[in-house]
Amino acid sequence: MLFSKFVTYLERLETTSSRLILIDILAELFTIASKEDIDKIIYLTQGRVAPFFAPLEIGMADKTVAETIARSYASKKEDVLALYNKLGDMGKAAQDLNLENRDKNKNLTVADVFNILIKIANTNGEGTVEKRIMLLSGLLVEMNGVSARHLVRIPLGNNRLGIGDPTILDGLALAILGDRNRRKLLEKAYSETSDLGLIGKTLKTDGLDGVRKLMVRVGCPIRSELCERLPGPEKVFEKMSPNGEGVHATPKYDGFRVQIHKNDDDVRMFSRNLEDMTHMFPEIIDGTRKQIMAKTAILDTEALAYQPESEEFLPFQETTKRRRKHNIAQMAEQLPLKAFVFDILYINGKSLLDTPLTERMTILADIVYDGDVLIPAPGKILYDSSDLQKMLDDSISKGLEGVVVKRTDSLYEAGGRNFNWVKLKRHSSGELNDTIDCVVLGYIAGKGKRAAFGAGALLVGVYDKEKDMFMSVSKIGTGLTDEEWKEIYERADKLRVDQKPARVDSIIVPSVWVRPEIVIEILADEITRSPNHTAGKKSAIINGQIESESGYALRFPRLVTFRSADRRPEDATTVNELITMYNQQGKK
């Protein structure tokens, strides 16, 4: 496929405000894509050259890209940066400066562009910046303005399409299986491989049977299983142990969810949002090599910062200091991590996803040897709600979040969230004091003192998994320091868009819409019903009239912390979770 042809689809995707139309456009694109191009097209549509977990980042800074544009179009870097600051989009700056090539359209293919971007990503060592500039410039001078606009956004990680993984799966299902509602037939393979390009290429080449044969592989992260909520120990036993079979319980640690992949001495680690974190945690690499007695294994763990002097585990805000690219060894000494190993998903060439929990715990206990870094956390089986309450109280007294409870016979459902796993936290019963992960959808311009910060309130939403949409749930204007207001504005302003994103549903219109990428943790007094918010809002035709049911909203919300470090937007609290919390909270 010609890159210019691909760009016509990017143009259509960028300008639509309807998710259903996004699916139709993607389906049309995937239908005409060849089996050799479809994986490249999927990655480029995501603004990538590889799946999210691959440690392959183009990573060119604003100033480097500005220098590239200046050389390509006989301009000055300062002029490019000035235009960028004016337009808020480096892509538009490139298009405006591409005067000589306005009608130029060389026969560059998607594969040509993709391969050059791969070269840029793999360039390192002495002269890296200059080599990358030359490679990117070589593409820009061959393109018309519209193609240049979309190209330069990719190395900046800013393609402005905002297309979620489920939407791409919908497009594949519609294009190749004939019905977007057949997405669920692809979800299992995606949850176990985390590679949309692989799913698309396999589906295009070998059909649905080929996708069903895709297997768990060491080095490709499995999407994490997640927890539902229940209000207390009694409800846990009612729901999860109706016949007295007991429940499996472990303390709930508030750290980084880290999935460890071991292949002999090669160890890789992935976050809950599929990011490769291997380089950040050298002590866990050493611990895995010394303590895991298996040739190949995939482990589900929670890593926490540990303070040796006081012999205590530190809160999440301290653990996040370990997310860094520089001074890693020094921080490993100051804030060493311990990884609690609570599940095993693969061992010596065999997937354990379809193995019952109790069997997985037996295997786990056998392969983790004693050591200082990996701590086995196989949990225990409890048969009485009072024992579960004691474990919950004990966990809270140690400064932990609470307890995770699992059905004893449950399989590991990659990417699933159901009542096989349930979390009990310190305020799970009574009034709402549990936190909620929300996604920033836009901001309202500041007034008075906050005018200097740029933003005075945030419009935030939660995730509707079935619709692959972000639904508004609250405006938030408290809980941020002056510095945090400045930070949130700087972050949000880089994500601003000219119109409501296609995957956002909101009645409230903020001063500025932003792409839904920033995740924040919020504490609120309670969840209420509101006609002004779309989370959980339903409509029905009654006697020929459209009747709308109020949505759900947060009362007195305030910011706790930023969670983008370990949460993708799709990992935010879901609408179904919000409704569950509403039903569980204390009624005044």
Give the alpha-carbon dihedral of 572, 575, 581, 586, to 10 degrees.
130
- Given phi > 0 = left and psi -120 to 50 = alpha, else beta, which region is 451? alpha
Helix %, strand %, coil % of the chain (to 5): 40, 25, 35
**What 8-state DSSP symbol labels residue 109?**
B
Angle between helices 62-72 and 145-153 (to 10 degrees): 160
Question: CB-based burial of residue 430 (10 Å sphere; 0-12 exposed, 13-18 middle, 19+ buried)?
Answer: exposed
Which tokens sit at 380? 């225990």
Query: Would you call 118 helix, strand, or coil by DSSP?
Result: helix
* Residue 438, φ and ψ in degrees, nearest 5: -120, 160
* DSSP codes joined into one string, 115-156: HHHHHHHH--STTHHHHHHHHHHHHHTTS-HHHHHHHHHTTT
Look at the block and give the residue holding tokens 């010394």: 290
Quote the CA–CA distance of 412 and 379 in Å, as a whole number.
16
Q: Identity (one letter) of the amino acid at 480?
A: L
**What 8-state DSSP symbol labels residue 579?**
H
In angstroms, the Cα distances linking 173 to 24, 177, 259, 305, 432 are 11, 5, 29, 43, 39
Look at the block and give the residue holding tokens 């990996």: 374
Contact 171, 23 (CB under 8 A): yes
- Mapping DSSP onto H, E and C, the string for 20-51 reads HHHHHHHHHHHHHCCCCCHHHHHHHHCCCCCC
* DSSP codes joined into one string, 246-299: -EEEEEEP-SEEEEEEEETTEEEEEETTS-B-GGG-HHHHHHHHHHB-SSEEEE
Q: Give the residue from 1, 36, 3, 6 showing the smallest Cα distance to 106.
A: 3
Which is the catalytic residue, given 201, 204, 252, 537?
Answer: 252
Quote the CA–CA distance of 42 and 13 in Å, as a whole number.
13
Query: Would you call 445 helix, strand, or coil by DSSP?
Result: strand
> Is there a catalytic annotation at residue 252?
yes
Look at the block and give the residue holding tokens 């303390």: 251
Quote the CA–CA distance of 258 and 31 in Å, as a whole number.
37
Angle between helices 38-45 and 3-15 (to 10 degrees): 40
Q: Give the residue from 144, 129, 404, 104 showing the smallest Cα distance to 248.
A: 404
Which tokens sit at 417? 């969230």
Q: Which residues contact 441 (CB under 8 A, 6 or more apart)?
A: 459, 460, 461, 470, 472, 501, 504, 506, 510, 513, 514, 516
Quote the CA–CA distance of 414 and 411 in Å, as a whole number.
9
Which residues belong to the active site?
A: 252
